[in-house]
Structure 1
């Protein structure tokens, strides 16, 4: 590594270490950090004349999507300017993903620092959210629970603390387990395990239905990976399942607010087509049916919806997106964008399946990795947009961290 490369790596690593805190306190600064990490990575690639990362299949698929969106989708969008604004700026997530997985989180020292910083950041956020639950107001943000329907926000300005902790917690645990499996550090993985009860408590107390259900699915995958990992791991899995089930039952029986959220979820599922989520999904599928090849254009969903309402073609409330990213891809990019993105997801999932059913020492990593993928890429969940700033940054940070963990696990020890 040259002197310039070391300096660039240090700068990018510093920005990455700050990103979890930036996501809490300033979305604009977080977005700037994502861009800067990508720019630094491109400068490094140019100086080292190393563009091999662009030919690796997962990144290559993302670059193909970027080209397709700007050549075939945005020029034919209902609102061309809006679509180009989203399709061109989406490049920052591709370069960020490449930088984190191929350059920044590729050495033990940086991974250690990242785990420590993320664990500390999550601990502060979780404790603030827990304080908010008992007192009613966040110490760090001043946000009250009554202002957002008795849901937790912690230091955030909106109720996304559950998704924040779940996504970053699983990804950080995956990185910590790799260091543990490679006998480079056991303390960090144990610290993540010790912090997990607090994080899970806040996730389930948050009132975020999607975060709670997806976290349960992720925990099922982690438990299954433990059952595949040996006799001691099976005993741990059984013990954790019993303790977790008892804790969740106690929470539902003693907290009317959480039980109310469960009843709301049941009502939505029992009459999905008449719920707001079902109406938005059907509207997105309607847009796709009218523009099956190129879609309506990236970020065009609320604008086209308003046109429909004005023309009397639809009476649904117009939201920024259809609350399901698969339908969002279909609606906004048509088959041109959806098919290659599905290929990208298959690549990610397949890598996790190979780890889950691979050598015994990689199976828990496979479960943690697939848990991260489920949190961001589960097809049947009500989700935020993968195109908008804050949700996309959180999703790409957690996905990139999990991919970096899987890649680091296959590196030869120095």
Structure 2
């Protein structure tokens, strides 16, 4: 993903034709993914507070938050500064996709999109009344989802606060402990990039306070454990 970001900034986005093709493909993918997520939510609902279509895993919101983020920022910027018709369409699409992010139950991906969108609107010479209206509508829409589906609101607020890694019983602290064990195993060079998910069960086999996931849910601890002090 960092390589994609650099390639977009210094190579792909410098050609108007490639840039437009990228934005169109991002838009199509973002709308298709949102439609899939709305369909899953309507047909079978969430599983454990999360959605899983179309890949079968519990992180479909990654696509909206990563592949669709550049276009989402452009849409928000247009919604608060462009002509009325274009602004209205951009605002509608951004609203639909941000609600889809809420429905996935993926809190960090939702926060990433929400904060990035608001920042993009701020730096693009917004019409302040329109900016305030857009933010208000999206906030009301999100809280509307929380009211209609209390389980979603509970996951984003109550459960999040209860799981903060400030006590030993926190599930996130148990996952973090695995990255700390990995660091102690090889503090200088680490255990190797992407090796946490493979080696955690072996490294922390004797530590009852560790829960091994595919990643330690903390970017800095993952870098520390996998690449050591050098990384």
Q: TM-score, normalised by structure 1?
A: 0.48
**Mapping of residues 288-327 of structure 1, within 5 Å:** 288-310=183-205, 312-327=206-221
Greater relative contact order structure (CA < 8 Å, 6+ sep): 1
Q: Which runs of 5+ in 1 are unaligned?
A: 1-92, 137-144, 338-414
1:22-73 residue CA offsets vs partner (Å, 9 max, x unmatched): xxxxxxxxxxxxxxxxxxxxxxxxxxxxxxxxxxxxxxxxxxxxxxxxxxxx
Pair 283,190 (structure 1): closer, same or farther in 2 beyond 3 Å: same
Q: Which residue of 2 aligns with 1:39?
A: none
Q: Which residue of 1 aligns with 2:153?
A: 259
Q: Which moved more, 1:192-201 or 1:162-171?
A: 162-171
Candidates 164, 169, 183, aligned match of 1:274 = 169
Pair 319,105 (structure 1): closer, same or farther in 2 beyond 3 Å: same
1:278-326 residue CA offsets vs partner (Å, 9 max, x unmatched): 122133134324533211222332454323444x244523223212221
Verify: 1:287 aligned to 2:182, yes or no: yes
More helix by share: 1
Q: Which residue of 2 aligns with 1:167?
A: 66
Verify: 1:199 aligned to 2:93, yes or no: no
Aligned mates of 2:123, 2:129 — CA distance in 1 = 12
Q: Which residue of 2 aligns with 1:113?
A: 21
1:336-371 residue CA offsets vs partner (Å, 9 max, x unmatched): 12xxxxxxxxxxxxxxxxxxxxxxxxxxxxxxxxxx
Verify: 1:214 aligned to 2:112, yes or no: yes
Aligned mates of 1:243, 1:195 — CA distance in 2 = 13
Offset of residue 165 of structure 1: 1.5
Pair 309,336 (structure 1): closer, same or farther in 2 beyond 3 Å: closer
Q: Which residue of 2 aligns with 1:13?
A: none
DSSP-derived class of the 2:229 partner: helix
Offset of residue 331 of structure 1: 0.4
Aligned mates of 1:99, 1:191 — CA distance in 2 = 28
Residues 152 and 205, structure 1, Cα contact 8 Å, conserved in 2: yes
Residues 115 and 188, structure 1, Cα contact 8 Å, conserved in 2: no
Q: TM-score, normalised by structure 2?
A: 0.80
Q: Which residue of 2 aligns with 1:330?
A: 224
Pair 264,328 (structure 1): closer, same or farther in 2 beyond 3 Å: same
DSSP-derived class of the 2:68 partner: helix
Pair 105,188 (structure 1): closer, same or farther in 2 beyond 3 Å: farther
Instruction: State which structure, 1 or 2, has the greater radius of gyration over its C-alpha atoms.
Output: 1
1:2-24 residue CA offsets vs partner (Å, 9 max, x unmatched): xxxxxxxxxxxxxxxxxxxxxxx
Residues 76 and 90, structure 2, Cα contact 8 Å, conserved in 1: no
Verify: 1:236 aligned to 2:130, yes or no: yes
**Mapping of residues 41-190 of structure 1, within 5 Å:** 99-136=7-44, 145=45, 148-174=47-73
Pair 303,103 (structure 1): closer, same or farther in 2 beyond 3 Å: closer
Aligned mates of 2:140, 2:193 — CA distance in 1 = 44
